[in-house]
Structure formats: structure tokens, C-alpha cells
Amino acid sequence: MRYRYQAVERIPREMADFVVYHTEEFELAGLLCACGCGHRITLLVPDSHEVWTEDGFATISPSVGVLDAPCKSHFFIRRGNVQMLPAFTPAHASEIMRAQVARHVARDTRPAPWWLRARIAAFGWLRSIWTSLSK
């Protein structure tokens, strides 16, 4: 079987085998683990992964590491085809997860660029005006 690509508004609660669901609006992708264990995987797009369709089949870059399930699977999906890699050891999975958390903490401590702060402030200001006019 090959993974099909399906654009969706929201990731469904019940996911089918061999389908990569992708919501561009929420920048997420969801799929079931390629090893067949049924573990639900959610990917942050484009924060950690890129997802796209090639002739209706899914491609995900970089590889998918299932660090939060007992299977500890690791695989690539290219044009729907799955290439399984050796599973992570529990120690290696833990090390990778610690590094990911540290990377996110470091990114969160940096101030947002001035243009993003200005955009957020302007949006808040417009929302407050809209709310007051709607009453």
C-alpha cells in the first residue's frame, strides 16, 4: 500500500490507514504509524516537517520518527512509498525528545521580530474596535 495525500480543513478523529491528512490552514498533518501499530502521528508543518502531494501520493520531509509510542518507528514517505528505517532505541528516542524541547525553549525565549509584534498589536487593536462596535 502507498500513502495517499488528502487535503482537509481539520485532521479527522478517525484516520484511515495509508492516508496523510494535511491542513494548510492549521499547518498540521496527521497519519497513522507506518508500522501498523495504529499510533496517531501529528506533524507540525512547516515547523518540523514539509508535506506535499505528488500525483495524489504523499511525500513527507524529513523522515518521521515516532518517539512517543512503544514501536519507536522511523520511516520516510516519498511519493506514497514507505521506507522503514531501524527503530529508535528508548535512550536515543529520549535524547532526541530532550533536544527538541531545548530547541523550542530557545526559540520561545527570543523576542518576535518587530514586524510580527506590530502585526499582533494591530490585530488586537482592530479586534477591540470591532468588539466595541458590535455591542
- Tell me the per-residue pLDDT of 15-74, one tens digit each, with 9 for 90 and over: 999 999 999 999 999 999 999 999 999 999 887 899 999 999 999 999 999 999 999 999
pLDDT tens digits, one per residue of 96-134? 888 888 877 776 666 777 777 777 777 677 777 776 776
- CA pair distance 83, 134, nearest whole angstrom: 54
Cis peptide before 62 (omega within 30 of 0): yes
pLDDT for 134 equals: 66
Hunting for cell 495524489 — which residue is that?
56
Count CB atoms within 10 A of the CB of residue 48: 14
DSSP 15: P
pLDDT for 119 equals: 76
**What integer is the mean pLDDT of 12-16?**
96
Predicted TM-score (pTM) of the model is 0.74
User: For residue 22, what are the β-bridge partners?
Assistant: 7, 29
Q: Phi/psi of residue 82, each to 5°?
A: -100, 130
